[in-house]
Each structure stands twice: as structure tokens, then as C-alpha cells.
Amino acid sequence: MTLLFFTSDIHGSKKCWIKFLNAAEFYKADVIIMGGDITGKLIIPIIQHKDGKYTTSVFGKDYTLTTKEEVQEMMEKIKFSGYYPYVCDEEEVEKLETDKKKVDKLFDLLMVEELRKWLNMVEERVNKNVKVIVSPGNDDRFIIDSTIKESERVIYPEERVVEIDDYHEMISCCWSNPTPWNSPREASEDELEKKFETEFNRVDNYDNLICNFHIPPYKSNLDSAPKLDKNLRVIYSMGKPEFIPVGSKSLQKLIKKYEPKLGLHGHIHESAGEKKYNKTLCLNPGSEYGEGILKGYLIDLTKDGIKRYWRVEG
């Protein structure tokens, strides 16, 4: 029997990453999988002033820091919440505010630097007999792929078949259909279908196949997201947000065609749950990374299939 732990969409939260690594020992898992969208979205400047004090605006408040210890403590709080702290002086802040290319370059630098530290934690926190699999997601910039591949302890699963155990193979795809945010890894449904087909064609047997596909299938109830207006504001009806399906139609079609054993999905934070398509069980753990909560699924795999599965969080 193989116990698999799956989670996704931690968006730069160091707290959730540590919980992901600790899940191996806590749940006695044989395999732990991070399903994508692992990097953060914002740089938070901590500005050093000429009088020796530091100021920053984060978590809806303005802070004044007077010691390096306070600065270090604030940096850790920022990292735990999914952002990238950056200490700089007033002059550099002014330059960054007027130079988008400089901001993008800095963002790449901070992102890779922090991810490399995260990957180095694997050796310290996870037993060497546990398989650790880390995928990018549609929100992750391409620059992180080579960083994941650098790690000798972590498996980068894209564009290959990963053997989970003697009976189960896994294919992966980090791309999504178009979103309102124009994230780095988006493709039309026609392009997505080709990408998914390429992955399915890597294997001959689908009976015990696991699909680590970041986007959920269309109208699976794992893909219900708030409906947005043209200004990206949530549309409300009767005082409640309206929800619409935003998953992949091509993936829904191919899951019904190939009938893999298990679909592991993320992407839509609000739609945690399960969906059964004939022989295929699809799961989305959802995400509350902003609150430091790690959501996941534990799946017991046997040579005959899935013995049981259950949702966990902490």
C-alpha cells in the first residue's frame, strides 16, 4: 500500500510550505505532491530611512521598525503570508516605482532565492525514503522550473512519467485555460487538449494512472469560481457572490475518454471537493494559504486501486 499526500496553491506561503514538508512525517506518507502555484505574488518593500528607522506597509497597516531584530521578525511574517520582503532605501523605492522591468527582474531574483531555500529544507525535514514531487502551476513564472530541477531531492514531474509505486504512474500538466489575470501558463482549449493528449500518450495503461493536472475539469464542481465584471470585481446576487464553472472543457472530454484512476487538481481555491467520472476520481483540496492553512488529500493506493481517501487541513 502507498499513502499519497496531495496539496496545491500555497502561493508563496512559507508557513504552508513547511506544513507540506512536515506532512510526510505527520501522516506517515510515502509520497507528497505539491500541485502548483507555489510562488508568491507581491514584493513588500521595507524602507530604510536616513534616521536609521525602517517603515513598511503590509497586512493593512503601517509599521515603523527601529532594530534589525524587528526587521528580521517582520520579514519572516511577510514570508509566512506569501509575500517577498525586500529591504531597500528611499531612493531605490523611487526607482522601482518608475521602472517595471527593474521590478520584474527583482521579483524573479527574490522568487528564485526563496524557492531555493524552500527546496533545501526537504533534505532537513523529509525522510529520504519519501518521494517529494513539486509542480509549477499556471501562476508560476517559467524561471522557477530550472530551480526545481536543480534539486537532487525533489522530482520535477512535467513532461515525463513519474512512477509513484510499482502499480501507479503519474503524468502532469501545469497549464490552465485562459483566466482574467493573464497568468504565465495559459492556453486555449484547443492548445490544452494537445498538451493533455501528449501526456496521455506517454503511457499505455490508464487503469492505475494518476493525472496531476493543475486545472480541474469543466463543470466538475471543483472549478466553481466567483463571477467577475470587466473590472475584475466579484458580481453579487441577492447579497451573495455568483459562481460560474471555469475549468477545462478539453480535460473533461479526455478524462471521460481515457478514464484514469485519479485526477489531482487545484487552481480554484474555493472549490474543494471530489468528483467521480465512471472509473476516475478527481480531487481538489482547495486553498486557504492567506490564513496559513494547508489543505490536502490523503489517498491510500493499492495494486487494485484506491482503497480510501480523505481531506485534511492544518
Q: What is the mean pLDDT of residues 37-41?
A: 97
CB of 294 within 8 A of CB of 10? yes
Q: Which three cell numbers stand for residue 22?
A: 512536515
d(Cα 275, Cα 251) in Å, to the nearest integer?
13
Equal CATH topology for 2-40+122-313 and 43-106: no
Q: Which three cell numbers stand for residue 77?
A: 511574517
d(Cα 79, Cα 3) in Å, to the nearest integer?
30
Residue spans of the domains in the chain: they are 2-40+122-313, 43-106
What architecture (CATH level 2) is domain 2-40+122-313? 4-Layer Sandwich (3.60)
CB of 188 within 8 A of CB of 178? yes
List, for residues 127-172, the tens digit of each pLDDT value.
999 999 999 999 999 999 999 999 999 999 999 999 999 999 999 9
d(Cα 59, Cα 78) in Å, to the nearest integer?
9
List, for residues 222-276, the tens digit of each pLDDT value.
999 999 988 989 999 888 899 999 999 999 999 999 999 999 999 999 999 999 9
Helix ranges, 126-179 (H): 143-150
φ/ψ (deg, to 5) at 70? -65, -40
What number of other Cβ atoms are within 10 A of residue 78's Cβ?
Answer: 23
Q: Write out the CATH class of domain 43-106.
A: alpha beta
Torsion angle of the four alpha carbons 157, 282, 22, 171, in this order, in degrees rounded to the nearest 10: -10
pTM of the model: 0.96
**What is the percentage of the chain residues whose pLDDT exceeds 70?**
100
**Conformational region of residue 10, where left means phi above 0, alpha means psi within -120 to 50, and beta covers everything else:** alpha
